[in-house]
């Protein structure tokens, strides 16, 4: 089998990574293969499904043209700086060029110890591997920038966490794996040459338009700020909580990366936290925009040595880019929520209408996804579902009256508007109780719940009898209150 490798990151200096192959496993077995993604990448899916292909996906065979390495990076974890992290359980096999000329990283996650493993075993177990597979593919279906899952394989070995778990390896696809923490790594070492090389690399790979700016590194920072603002706004639009927004988990390419203790909200509240390691709510749903700006400030700090030879000018450029984040985020956020409420053009009252609806949802303990989905029916005159969700809110009638007045500013046939709204408000999300049930069954060898969940998540905007069970919020006994990091 062949891969169209062209490994640009491996051509950077040796201090950017550690070269080593993945560690072989005892008995690899294919669990899931993303055939549609394989075709997009120009990889023969049938070949991946063969013994030779599974050996590649498990790390037992390094394909021709690969140049495996573990990337070096640092990061602020829950606000505390760790000067060396790096790929402690992942190997970048290389970069492949697709038939369309796009470049993607091909990474094995759970592929064994590296020089960056610290006290870790370098392995992953099946539950978190399949969680990342489910959530990342759902995010792709929502049209939110994300890394993706090409395959999940078991290893035939046990991984020890709280107990013995079945080992697994995820094959992850990304625009790149460069993070904010990659820049922090070289700042901590006062390596301005490496910072410049890394910035030039990121510009060439992700932001080529910055080369036309008289200040390309300033343009790079501004572009990353813009992408992060849009990304977090899109997260909020589907009720997503990343769970661990450390700077080493924030992609420079503007993709959602590192699905650990992530979750989608059931009942709406801005302080919602699921992550078992987020004890103080640093990465709560409503706090994610502030944390994104904080993380971007760490990137700006890392770029100071190369923004300008005069540090005062460098500081001014960095501060200007970071200060622009709130407005950029607000614009992106209102774009997302206008579409959810059925609006097309901006109007001054939109922000207040969005805020009032969310406050009503919090007061009524309403389901986030279903509340917005029932708005699609309400715009056609059926308010039954919306009142079932929000009936406990005293101000609902007043809000509905103002919403209908706002809709009247943009005349449109009700069915056309409802169709637009349904494309902005998914009917199905990866609800935590459904995800956990699918993972529990898969660990026991039953893949049917996993397959059913992945199938409905491929078309999350559709609303039909076959998806109704997946739209239902959890019963009290099914509620998942915490999600966990796979390490």
List, for residues 63-112, the tens digit of each pLDDT value: 999 999 999 999 999 999 999 999 999 999 999 999 999 999 999 999 99
Contact (Cβ atoms closer than 8 angstroms) between residue 461 and residue 426: yes
Q: Is 453 left (phi over 0), alpha (psi -120 to 50) or beta?
A: alpha
Widest pairwise Cα distance in the chain: 65
Calpha distance 94→39 (Å, rounded):
18
Per-residue pLDDT, 392 = 78
Calpha distance 88→485 (Å, rounded):
14
Q: Flag whether the pTM goes above 0.95.
A: yes
Per-residue pLDDT, 258 = 95
Choosing from 105, 121, 213, 248, which is the catalytic residue?
248
Residue 459 to residues 423, 456, 463, Cα–Cα distance (Å): 10, 6, 9
Residue 294 to residues 144, 270, 475, Cα–Cα distance (Å): 22, 18, 37
In tens digits, the chain (487 residues) has pLDDT values of 789 999 999 999 999 999 999 999 999 999 999 999 999 999 999 999 999 999 999 999 999 999 999 999 999 999 999 999 999 999 999 999 999 999 999 999 999 999 999 989 999 999 999 999 999 999 999 999 999 999 999 999 999 988 999 999 999 999 999 999 999 999 999 999 999 999 999 999 999 999 999 999 999 999 999 999 999 999 999 999 999 999 999 999 999 999 999 999 999 999 999 999 999 999 999 999 999 999 999 999 999 999 999 999 999 999 999 999 999 999 999 999 999 999 999 999 999 999 999 999 999 999 999 999 999 999 999 999 999 999 878 899 999 999 999 999 999 999 999 999 999 999 999 999 999 999 999 999 999 999 999 999 999 999 888 888 999 999 999 999 989 887 6
Per-residue pLDDT, 394 = 85
Q: For 251-303, give the DSSP string.
A: BTTS-B---SS-EE-SB--TT---BTT-TT-TT-GGGHHHHHHHHHHHHHHHH
Residue 412 to residues 38, 280, 344, 420, Cα–Cα distance (Å): 41, 45, 10, 11
Per-residue pLDDT, 308 = 96
Per-residue pLDDT, 1 = 79
Whether 44 is a known active-site residue: answer no
Contact (Cβ atoms closer than 8 angstroms) between residue 474 and residue 266: yes
User: Could you tell me which of 37, 23, 241 has the C-alpha nearest to residue 149?
Assistant: 37
Calpha distance 238→146 (Å, rounded):
14
Calpha distance 137→306 (Å, rounded):
37
CA 320 from chain centre, in angstroms, equals 27
Q: Is 226 helix (H, G, I), strand (E, B) or coil?
A: helix
Q: Is 69 helix (H, G, I), strand (E, B) or coil?
A: strand
Q: Which helix H or strand E contains 77, and what residues bound it?
A: strand 75-77
Q: Is 204 left (phi over 0), alpha (psi -120 to 50) or beta?
A: alpha
**First CA to last CA across the chain, in angstroms?**
32
């Amino acid at each position: 089998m062949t891969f169209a490798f062209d490994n640009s990151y491996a051509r950077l200096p040796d201090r950017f990574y550690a070269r080593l192959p993945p560690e072989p496993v005892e008995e690899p077995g294919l669990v899931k293969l993303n055939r549609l993604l394989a075709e997009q990448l120009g990889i023969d899916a049938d070949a991946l499904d063969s013994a030779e292909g599974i050996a590649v996906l498990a790390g037992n065979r390094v394909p021709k043209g690969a140049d495996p390495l573990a990337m070096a990076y640092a990061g602020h974890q829950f606000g505390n700086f760790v000067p060396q992290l790096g790929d402690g359980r992942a190997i970048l096999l290389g970069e492949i060029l697709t038939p369309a000329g796009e470049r993607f990283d091909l990474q094995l996650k759970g592929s064994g110890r590296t020089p960056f493993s610290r006290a870790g075993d370098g392995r992953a177990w099946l539950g978190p591997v399949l969680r990342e597979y489910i959530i990342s593919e759902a995010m792709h279906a929502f049209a939110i920038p994300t890394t993706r899952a090409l395959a999940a394989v078991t290893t035939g070995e046990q991984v020890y966490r709280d107990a013995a778990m079945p080992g697994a390896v995820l094959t992850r696809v990304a625009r790149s794996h460069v993070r904010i923490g990659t820049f922090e790594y070289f700042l901590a070492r006062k390596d301005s040459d490496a910072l410049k090389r890394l910035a030039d690399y990121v510009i060439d790979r992700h932001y080529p338009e910055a080369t036309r700016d008289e200040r390309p590194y300033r343009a790079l920072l501004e572009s990353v700020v813009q992408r992060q603002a849009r990304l977090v706004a899109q997260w909020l639009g589907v009720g997503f909580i990343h769970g661990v927004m450390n700077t080493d988990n924030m992609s420079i390419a503007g993709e959602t990366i590192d699905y650990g203790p992530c979750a989608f909200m059931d009942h709406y509240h801005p302080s919602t936290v699921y992550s078992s390691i987020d004890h103080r709510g640093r990465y709560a749903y409503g706090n994610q925009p502030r944390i994104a700006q904080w993380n971007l400030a760490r990137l700006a700090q890392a770029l100071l040595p190369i923004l300008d030879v005069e540090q005062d000018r460098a500081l001014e450029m960095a501060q200007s880019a970071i200060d622009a984040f709130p407005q950029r985020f607000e614009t992106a956020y209102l774009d997302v929520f206008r579409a959810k409420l059925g609006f097309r053009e901006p109007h001054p009252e939109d922000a207040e209408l969005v805020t009032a609806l969310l406050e009503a949802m919090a007061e009524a303990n309403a389901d986030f996804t279903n509340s917005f989905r029932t708005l699609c029916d309400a715009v056609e005159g059926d308010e039954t579902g919306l009142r079932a969700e929000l009936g406990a809110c005293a101000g609902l009638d007043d809000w509905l009256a103002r919403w209908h007045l706002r809709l009247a500013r943009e005349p449109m046939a009700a069915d056309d508007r409802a169709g637009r709204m349904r494309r902005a408000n998914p009917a199905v999300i990866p609800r935590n109780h459904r995800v956990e049930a699918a993972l529990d069954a898969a660990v026991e060898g039953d893949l049917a719940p996993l397959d059913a969940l992945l199938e409905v998540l491929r078309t999350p905007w559709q609303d039909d009898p076959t998806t109704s069970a997946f739209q239902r919020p959890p019963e009290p006994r099914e509620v998942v209150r915490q999600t966990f990091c796979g390490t």
